[in-house]
Amino acid sequence: MTPEELLGVTPALLAKSILHRRERLAEVIPEQLDARQEELLAAEPLARAAKEKRDGINTKVASLKRERADAQTKARALFKRAGALRDQLQASGGIKDPDPKWAKEKLDSKLQSLELELETNAGNHKTEQKYIQEMKALIRQHDEWVAQRASSQEGLTEMDASFKEAKALLDTAQKAHDAILELASENEYFHTTYVEHEAHRRRADGRTKRLAEALDSSQRGIEHWQKIIDGGYDRLLSNATKVKEGGVSSSVRNRKPTKKDAPKRGKARRTSTAQPKAGGEEE
């Protein structure tokens, strides 16, 4: 559009063109707004569900980490305690072998005797079963004797119990650690899923808000320009009227004064004071 064509646009045409534009936007935006709202309603539960699953796994992982750390801490304390007891018993000479060589030789001798009887004496399966039971009884009696001998040593029982409990705690810590590793990949999957759904939800939310603001602006614009059309165009022509009457334009009125606009000061004129000549005459 040329400057002449632009100047030829009447206030009525301009106002009606703006009103038409606002009305057209008010017709188009609701359909787009409904689509974005549906998109937002679909994205919100997906993002919320992914977040809940991710947070649930994080809670489990945190609990397992506490369990692992607690078991390891207690195990270290028990190992330290058992080591101290062992050092004390060794220093005092209180540790004795609960299964000495002579006891093992005695057990082996009895077992060999039973095996020889089993090989040399003919018998049926009941006889063989009897010998086997006697051999098991000998081994059990030996183990009970060794256990009783070990438990009778002062400090040794506590040391063994500490070692056993510490090992059990380490097993617990290992199981917790293995469970954490199994949850790691699952946690990564749900975290990635949540980030994707949350990004989609934010985009839909942003679009919904912008369209709602545009619709509100268009509706207010329709009311504004309809009032101008119904009430006349005097408001639109007020500035033009002032210029025609000799006033300055709005752009000049709104412009901030600059240094160039400051009034120029004239150079000071030099004046000379005449010295009177003798006799009262001046030069």
User: Average pLDDT, whole number, for the chain?
Assistant: 75
- Residue spans per domain, the chain: 99-152
8 Å CB contact between 240 and 11: no
Closest CA to 107 of 144, 130, 139: 139
8 Å CB contact between 89 and 95: yes
pLDDT at 252: 57
48-97 per-position pLDDT tens digit: 888 888 889 899 989 988 998 898 888 888 888 877 877 776 676 656 66
Residue 106 tokens read as: 């005695």
DSSP assignment of 19-38, as one string? HHHHHHHHHHHHHHHHHHHH
More confident residue, 63 or 5: 63
Is pLDDT at 124 greater than 70 in this prediction? no
Strand (E) or helix (H) holding 253? helix 250-254
pLDDT at 267: 47
Under 8 Å CB-to-CB from 111, ≥6 apart: which residues? 135, 138, 139
Which of 93-102, 107-116, 191-200 holds the top average pLDDT? 191-200
pLDDT band at 276, cuts 50/70/90?
very low
Q: Rounded distance, CA 9 to CA 16, Å?
A: 11
Under 8 Å CB-to-CB from 16, ≥6 apart: which residues? 229
Is pLDDT at 18 greater than 60 in this prediction? yes
Tell me if residue 276 falls in helix, strand or coil.
strand
Q: Rounded distance, CA 165 to CA 160, Å?
A: 9
Residue 22 tokens read as: 């606002």
Segment 43-49 mean pLDDT: 87
- The overall longest dimension of the chain from CA atoms, in Å, is 182
